[in-house]
Amino acid sequence: MADSQPFCVAEERSGHCAVVDGNFLYVWGGYVSIEDNEVYLPNDEIWTYDIDSGLWTMHLMEGELPTSMSGSCGACINGKLYVFGGYDDKGYSNRVILSFNSGMQQNLYFVNLRTRDGTYVWEKITSFEGQPPTPRDKLSCWVYKDRLIYFGGYGCRRHNELQDCFDVHDASWVCPPELFIAQADLSMTEEQIFWGWHNDVHVFDTKTQNWFQPEIKQTRMNDLHYLNLDTWTWSGRIPVNGENPKHRSWHTLTPIADDKLFLFGGLSADNIPLSDGWIYNVITNGWKQLTHLPKTRPRLWHTACLGKENEIMVFGGSKDDLLSLDTGHCNDLLIFQTQPYSLLRSCLDCIGKNAIILESQISLLPPKLLQQVLKKITFWTAANHREEQRAQKEETENKYQWITSN
């Protein structure tokens, strides 16, 4: 079932998953703040954005649904969206769940995005080998040789699970669930749980259905660093040439070529939401700031995906400091060019923007080209409509702030 009302758009959110496959951007999960409460978005909805026409469509999902979560990690392999990790209203997850009496249960989910009938069905992987990671959210993922490679994340561990690859941030005492079942067993007492940031690597091979943790040749790291996925060796701190971006967290770092990465947004060391974009060149070992990006559209805890023409598609996230004001969740899609568009794309955009002027000539185009032009007309009509709505919303918010301050 799909909802494709004219110019509808996915809800505001942060901590969601987003991937690009073919001509579509897919968005699932996340949360939004309503009256100081964190509300997790429906787990049976997936939103698709048609990159050519600029139209959003909501599809209802079926099957073994994951729990509604934020901070999950989504990645796409061969048209399948895999979702792992996250935080729900019951606590941290692997979507792998922490269970004190039976260890961990593996709940890695996937959905086929290349469905022919428009039906999206979640499946839970229940048959696998190896040990999955401990519960966590805000982790990163790479795709390499049909493998999902997970790094880091924030979560919890028992005392006997503490290792060098875990940076303790806080600790608490909890009562294992079995105490409620066997109160008379005096050997069962409270145990201490440690919260913090992970620094480990876990791999799930989608072909063999196997989890494994490679032996990492690891160095304490700072700033920019890389991991060789063939030797599992960390580079250590990379001394970069020239100017560096500000220190930050909750940003995105997206590959845009074999030798280039795109850094966008995040929260600065002094808790300022950022809107700057930088490209790191692996060959020259240097950063270059993009000066044409809008400075009034900061984002943190957003997603950033590479489009089919090397544009970066940034969706959702927050425009506020989440640590002090968790209300500025966004649902607008920011599209950034990292290289000039093809001549065909530039011509299609020009016609789409000037469709009223060129109305009498458009119908004379060859059928195949006409279809592309009509999609671009729809794209720019939708984009202009959403921009008008955004401007009206900002004007209303500014008026409200002025009235409140006076």
Phi, psi of 183 (to 5 degrees): -60, -30
Given CA atoms 324, 325, 329, 330 in this order, what sign does their dihedral have? negative
Model confidence pLDDT, tens digit, residues 235-252: 888 999 999 999 999 999
Other CB atoms closer than 10 Å to residue 207's CB: what's the count? 9
Q: What is the pLDDT of residue 91?
A: 59
Residue 356 scores a pLDDT above 90: yes
Pairing mode of beta strands 260-268, 97-99? unpaired
pLDDT tens per residue across span 106-162 = 479 999 999 888 899 999 999 999 999 888 899 999 999 999 999 999 887 777 777
Backbone angles phi, psi at 221, to 5 degrees: -120, 160
26: exposed, middle or buried (C-beta count within 10 Å: 0-12, 13-18, 19+)?
A: buried
Mean pLDDT in residue range 77-98: 74
pLDDT at 165 over 90: no
- Report the distance separating Cα 385 and Cα 121, nearest Å: 32
Residue 277 carries which side chain, given as an amino acid letter?
G
Residue 278, CA atoms < 13 Å, CB-side half-sphere: 21
- Token code pair at residue 89: 């209203």
- Does position 345 have pLDDT exceeding 90, yes or no? yes
**Please, are residues 158 and 115 in contact by the beta-carbon 8 Å criterion?**
no
Domain with CATH 2.120.10.80 in the chain: 7-176+190-218+227-234
pLDDT at 255 over 70: yes
By CB atoms closer than 10 A (0-12, 13-18, 19+), residue 392 is exposed
pLDDT higher than threshold 90 for residue 301: yes
Under a CB-based contact definition with an 8 Å cutoff, are residues 322 and 267 in contact?
yes
Tell me the pTM: 0.84
Q: What pLDDT sits at residue 401?
A: 66
Contact 347, 19 (CB under 8 A): no
> How far is Cα 255 from Cα 238, in angstroms, rounded to an integer?
18
Are 88 and 77 a contacting pair, CB within 8 Å? no
Please give the Cα distance from 87 to 95 (Å, whole number): 8
From start to end of 23-165, where are the E strands? 24-28, 31-34, 37-40, 45-50, 56-63, 73-77, 80-84, 86-88, 91-93, 97-99, 103-105, 108-112, 120-125, 136-137, 140-144, 147-151, 154-158
Q: Would the pLDDT of 93 be above 70?
A: no
pLDDT at 251: 95
Q: Which CATH architecture has domain 7-176+190-218+227-234?
A: 6 Propeller (2.120)
Q: Indicate if the pLDDT at residue 392 is higher than 80.
A: yes
